[in-house]
């Protein structure tokens, strides 16, 4: 809920000075951020800025930070294995298509549900609810590889939702979608927020973040460059410079 100041009151995720080094290269450099319960925090920045790596560090998939701390609902999670983090209620999707193309939509959700420790009727109910929530029930018996791109994107979201997470982290959910499908996705994400889900969204489609994000951060060369409302962030000259500098390089 938004407090009187317009801010969301309760902190859900806190990232304290996380870094990740690959050999001599610092992909994420001392990044700190906060995500409050109920808000949508957008993350943007040029290619290679460290956005997906930051998601890896937070979710522990496939690796955690080499320095710094991550707290979820006040509990330190940066030394926990990925499946434990997921079961605490923090789920992420991947930038690349992550589904089992030869399995049915239903079986894809069943696999996700199994991973989250659900079995039997409870697993089936959770799977049916997740499909319904994202609006792809009609594809349930089709091969996941054969359904339209928007439905695939929604299937990846449904697979994350099956465990009823409190924080959902999406890595470029709109990649490759036309503007009509983007509008459909924006509506879904807005509905999820209305239902109480907190979202952390990496996206190159800045119009999506402008429409959905309550706050935004820009990463550039592994560092947090700017933090603020989408309007202030997207009109900040340092942000334009970060994108242009990258384009020239
Ligand atoms: N496992 C890894 N080993 C070595 N280098 C890596 C690894 N993962 C990422 N990197 C490097 O870290 C940097 C940040 O990559 P990352 O994928 O986080 O960027 P990004 O901001 O998500 O970019 P994009 O917008 O293109 O998805 C890149 O230079 C990348 O090559
Ligand atoms: Mg990325």
Taking only the tens place, the pLDDT of each residue in 21-54 is 999 899 999 999 999 999 999 999 999 999 999 9
Please check whether residue 64 is in contact with residue 19, taking contact to mean a CB–CB distance below 8 angstroms: no
Quote the pLDDT of residue 115: 75
Q: What's the rounded Cα separation, in Å, for the pair 80 and 59? A: 9
**Coil, helix or strand at residue 20:** strand
Report the pLDDT value the prediction gives residue 6, as an integer from 0 to 100: 54
| Ligand 1 pocket, residue 50 CB under 6 Å | yes
Spell out the residues 6+ positions from residue 179 whose beta carbon is closer than 8 angstroms to its own: none
Q: Cα–Cα distance between 66 and 61 in angstroms, integer?
A: 13
Which of 49, 201, 203 to mutate for ligand 1's pocket (most ligand atoms within 8 Å of CB)?
A: 49
Please give the pLDDT value at position 7: 63
Ligand at minimal distance from the CA of 27 is: 1
pTM of the model: 0.93
Mean pLDDT score, 170-182: 96
Any ligand 1 atom below 6 A from CB of 89: no
Give 193-236 pLDDT, tens digit per residue: 999 999 999 999 999 999 999 999 999 999 999 999 999 999 99
* Prior bond of 164 cis (ω within 30°): no
Give me ligand 2 centre to Cα 221, in Å.
12
**Distance of CA 157 to CAs 34, 180, 231, 237, Å?**
22, 18, 27, 34
The answer to whether the CB of 222 is under 6 A from ligand 1 is no
Whether 27 lines ligand 1, by a CB cut-off of 6 Å, is yes
Q: Which residue has the CA at smallest separation from atom 9 of ligand 1?
A: 53
49 close to ligand 1 (CB < 6 Angstrom)? yes
More confident residue, 185 or 240: 185
State the distance from the centre of ligand 2 to the C-alpha of 42, rounded, in angstroms. 13
- Is the pLDDT confidence value at 62 over 90? no
Q: Is the CB of 242 under 6 A from ligand 1?
A: no
86-134 pLDDT, tens digit per residue, is 989 999 999 888 899 999 999 999 988 887 777 778 888 889 999 999 9
Identify the residue with better confidence: 4 or 130.
Answer: 130
Q: Could you tell me the residue ranges of all domains in the chain?
A: 1-89+165-249, 98-164
Q: Are 209 and 44 in contact (CB under 8 A)?
A: yes
- Which pLDDT does position 1 carry in this prediction? 52
CA R_g for the chain: 18
CATH number of 1-89+165-249: 3.40.50.300
End-to-end CA distance of the chain: 42
23 CB under 6 A from ligand 1?
A: no
Shortest-distance atom of ligand 1 to CA 45: 21
CA atoms within 13 A on the CB side of 150: 15
Query: Does residue 95 line the site of ligand 1, with CB under 6 A?
Result: yes
Nearest CA to ligand 1 atom 29: 48
């Amino acid at each position: 809920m938004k407090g009187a100041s317009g801010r969301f009151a309760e902190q859900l995720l806190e990232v304290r000075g996380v870094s990740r080094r690959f050999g001599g290269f610092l992909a994420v450099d001392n990044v700190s951020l906060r995500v409050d319960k109920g808000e949508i925090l957008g993350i943007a920045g040029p290619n290679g800025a460290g956005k997906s790596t930051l998601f890896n560090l937070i979710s522990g998939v496939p690796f955690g930070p080499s320095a710094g701390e991550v707290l979820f609902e006040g509990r330190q999670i940066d030394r926990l294995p990925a499946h434990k983090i997921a079961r605490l209620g923090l789920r992420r999707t991947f930038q690349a298509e992550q589904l089992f193309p030869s399995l049915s939509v239903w079986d894809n959700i069943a696999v996700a549900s199994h991973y989250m420790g659900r079995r039997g009727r409870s697993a089936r109910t959770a799977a049916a609810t997740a499909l319904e929530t994202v609006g792809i029930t009609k594809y349930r018996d089709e091969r996941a590889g054969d359904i339209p791109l928007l439905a695939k994107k929604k299937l990846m979201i449904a697979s994350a939702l099956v465990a009823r997470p409190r924080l959902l982290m999406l890595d470029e959910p709109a990649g490759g979608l036309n503007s009509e499908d983007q509008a459909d996705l924006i509506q879904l994400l807005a509905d999820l927020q209305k239902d109480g889900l907190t979202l952390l969204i990496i996206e190159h489609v800045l119009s999506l973040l402008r429409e959905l994000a309550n706050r935004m951060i820009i990463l550039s060369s592994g560092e947090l460059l700017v933090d603020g409302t989408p309007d202030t962030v997207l009109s900040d000259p340092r942000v334009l410079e970060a994108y242009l500098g990258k384009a020239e390089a």
